[in-house]
Structure formats: structure tokens, C-alpha cells
């Protein structure tokens, strides 16, 4: 009985985190975009506009959930839940600190890729079920985009997995700090075992992993439908894309899924490439900075800060670059990112066999 209560508590905790982060991220994006564009941003509701997102969610809760006459009622009603649950369940296998992971599994990365792929199904359900030309066009664009960009993203992540030799996200995290149990070399040359810090991170264990990380980050923008890859929701062409017909908390769930996805894909990048919950500070002689800043509380702090930095870059890119055309988006995926990611994966296999052994 106790174990089931723990499971329920973890599930509620993850949902609460997703909800609170979405509220924070909306406010953060508004303020950051205002700074980029030399505006003030929200400043009326609460001090410095801090209560604006609270007011928005209260408004959404009170709004009527309208069912257009011609919709497929089951698909239309279930789609927002499918979209959110697919993203929400991805957090179950994410390690937050040494020994702190909601559901420890030795195929954590495989599970996450499998579960978040279901989001595409939810988007197609929303587009088809809405019986609206803008919605179905947005859904088809989204399906083509997400399925395409999963390939270079997958190859880029496999590049890091081959270096680590594991799909267990906690094991991958352990290899990037002072708690590592095997030899770690900076760029395959300098032995940094026991030193920890930024030099032990996967992105510096092999030169090509820097390229793999950049490929993954670009693909992750497309995976989460963020600009310049936001053609599924292109407001200048499709009103709002696949969620055009949604109102009230159904729209709120779609919105929640988008911001949760931003955090999730950034967190995956942090775990695979940027040291996960490990400190960036190394041990230097008798000054054991890495040892002092490694632990459960520090782990949660470091992984949150690193992930938030990647989310910041996502927001920065959204308010800087114009939207790509469909042909440009597909050319980038199939002619540039996929070949480069495949090369990185092959180099990782060679590096593992010839350099690390």
C-alpha cells in the first residue's frame, strides 16, 4: 500500500512541477522577449507583472469548453489529454540528482523517445477530430516535422550513448562527474577521472559530440514546435494550426504540453551532453570544488539551472529568427542534419572501439 502511495505522490509531484514551470516559463518568455525587443512586458497584474500568468490560468479555467457541431467528439475531446500525457510521462525516467529518479530503468532514453512520440498521435487526433481545414493542415505539418526531426535527434543522442555504453540515464549522468567508476578523458587525451567538473561532461569526451549536441538542440526546437520551426501553428497562415478549435482548459492542456516539452527536450540535452546533475566546478589540487558541490540538493540545482539556460536559448531563438518555409525546414533536416548526425554516430562507434579501449 505504501509503495502505491509513493507512486501517486511522485505522479502528483511531476504534474505540479509541469504546471508551475509552465506558469513561470510563460512569464519568463514574455519578459525576455520584451527585453530583446526593448519593451517592458507584463507590468500591470501584480508587482512587475508577476501575477499575469496566474490571471491567465484563472481566465482559462473559467472559459467555456466549446464543442463545434461538426467535430469528431471522441478524438476532439481526447487529443489534448493525449498530447499532454505523452510529454508528462517522459519526466518519469529523468534523473534529477544522485539516487533521485522517479522511475529507474536501464532503457530510460529508449522509453522517453518511445513515449514522447505519442504526442504526434495526439496532434493528428486534434487536427482530424476538429474537422477544420486549418487544424488538419497544422496537424499534417506537425506530423511530418516531428517524425522527420526525430531521426537526426535520435542519431545525435545515440552518438553520446555509444560513448557512455548505456541507455540508463542515471548511469550516463554518473559518468560525467566525480562519481564516475571508469576512466574519463577530456577529448580522448587528458585523463580527468576524479577531477569532475565541466571537463568530464560528455560534450568534451570526444570532439564530434560538440557537433552532435548542436544537431540535437536544433532538432529539439522542431520536436517542440518552437520558432523557427513553428509552421504547425503558423498564425499568419493557419490561425493557430492544430489547436484552432480548442478553448478553455483543453487549450490550456495543449499550452501546458508545449512548455513542458521545452523543458523535457532541454533536460534530455543536459543529461546526455552537459553533465546532467553534475557540477561544472572541477577538483583542483587540494580544493575539492566538485566534491563540495555534488549531492542531492546540488544535483537538483545544477540540472535545473542548466536546463533553464537551454530554455532561455530556445526563447532567444524564437524572438530572433524568422519562421522557415516548409521546403527549407525539410531540406535542413534531410540534407544537412541527418547526414551530419549519422556521421557523428559512426564516429562515436569508431571512437568507442579504437580510442576508449
What does each C-alpha distance from 22 to 85, 203, 252, 253, 274 come to in angstroms?
Answer: 15, 28, 10, 10, 23
Instruction: Give me the percent of the chain exceeding a pLDDT of 70.
Output: 97
Residues 210-220 have pLDDT tens digits of: 999 999 999 99
Cis, bond preceding 299 (omega within 30 deg of 0): no
Average pLDDT over residues 314-336: 91
Taking residue 68's Cβ as centre, other Cβ atoms within 10 Å add up to 13
Residue 277: pLDDT band (50, 70, 90) is very high
Tell me the C-alpha to C-alpha distance, in Å, between residue 118 and each of 22, 32, 123, 125. Answer: 21, 31, 9, 11
Band of the pLDDT at 66, cuts 50, 70, 90?
confident
- pTM strictly above 0.85: yes
Average pLDDT over all residues of the chain:
89
Q: What is the pLDDT of residue 71?
A: 83
Interval 98-123: pLDDT, tens: 988 888 888 989 999 899 889 888 88
- In 192-256, which ranges are E strands? none
Q: Give exposure, 273-298, as e/b (b: 16+ Cβ within 10 Å).
A: bbbbbbbbbbbeeeebbbbebbeeeb
Note the pLDDT of residue 239: 66
273 alpha carbon, distance to own chain's centre: 13
pLDDT in tens, 5-39: 888 888 899 999 999 999 999 999 999 999 998 99
> What letters, b where the CB count within 10 A reaches 16 and e where it falls short, cover 152-167?
bbbbbbbbbbbbbebb
List residues bridging with 191 in a β-sheet: 185
* Residues contacting 10, CB < 8 A, separation 6+: 102, 103
Q: What pLDDT score does 238 carry?
A: 65
| The pLDDT of residue 235 is above 70 | no
Amino acid at each position: 500500500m505504501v509503495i502505491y502511495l509513493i507512486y501517486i505522490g511522485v505522479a502528483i509531484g511531476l504534474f505540479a512541477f509541469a504546471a508551475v514551470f509552465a506558469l513561470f516559463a510563460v512569464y519568463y518568455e514574455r519578459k525576455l522577449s520584451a527585453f530583446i525587443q526593448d519593451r517592458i512586458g507584463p507590468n500591470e497584474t501584480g508587482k512587475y507583472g508577476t501575477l499575469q500568468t496566474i490571471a491567465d490560468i484563472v481566465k482559462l479555467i473559467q472559459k467555456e469548453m466549446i464543442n463545434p457541431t461538426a467535430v469528431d467528439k471522441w478524438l476532439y475531446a481526447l487529443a489534448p489529454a493525449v498530447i499532454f500525457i505523452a510529454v508528462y510521462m517522459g519526466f518519469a525516467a529523468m534523473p534529477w540528482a544522485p539516487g533521485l529518479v522517479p522511475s529507474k530503468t536501464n532503457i530510460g532514453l529508449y522509453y522517453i523517445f518511445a513515449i514522447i512520440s505519442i504526442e504526434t498521435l495526439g496532434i493528428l487526433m486534434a487536427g482530424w477530430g476538429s474537422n477544420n481545414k486549418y487544424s488538419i493542415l497544422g496537424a499534417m505539418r506537425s506530423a511530418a516535422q516531428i517524425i522527420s526531426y526525430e531521426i537526426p535527434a535520435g542519431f545525435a543522442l545515440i552518438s553520446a550513448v555509444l560513448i557512455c555504453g548505456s541507455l540508463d540515464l542515471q548511469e550516463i549522468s554518473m559518468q560525467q562527474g566525480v562519481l564516475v567508476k571508469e576512466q574519463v578523458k577530456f577529448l580522448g587525451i587528458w585523463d580527468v577521472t576524479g577531477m569532475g567538473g565541466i571537463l568530464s561532461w560528455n560534450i568534451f569526451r570526444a570532439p564530434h559530440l560538440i557537433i552532435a549536441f548542436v544537431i540535437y538542440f536544433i532538432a529539439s526546437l522542431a520536436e517542440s514546435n518552437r520558432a523557427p520551426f513553428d509552421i504547425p501553428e503558423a498564425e499568419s497562415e493557419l490561425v493557430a494550426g492544430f489547436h484552432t478549435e480548442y478553448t478553455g482548459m483543453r487549450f490550456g492542456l495543449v499550452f501546458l504540453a508545449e512548455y513542458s516539452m521545452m523543458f523535457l527536450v532541454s533536460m534530455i540535452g543536459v543529461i546526455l551532453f552537459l553533465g546532467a546533475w553534475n557540477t561544472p566546478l572541477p577538483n583542483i589540487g587540494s580544493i575539492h570544488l566538485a566534491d563540495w558541490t555534488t549531492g542531492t540538493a546540488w544535483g537538483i540545482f545544477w540540472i535545473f539551472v542548466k536546463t533553464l539556460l537551454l530554455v532561455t536559448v530556445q526563447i532567444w531563438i524564437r524572438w530572433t529568427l524568422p519562421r522557415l518555409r516548409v521546403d527549407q525546414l525539410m531540406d535542413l533536416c534531410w540534407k544537412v542534419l541527418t547526414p551530419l548526425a549519422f556521421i557523428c554516430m559512426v564516429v562515436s562507434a569508431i571512437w568507442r572501439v579504437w580510442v576508449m579501449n
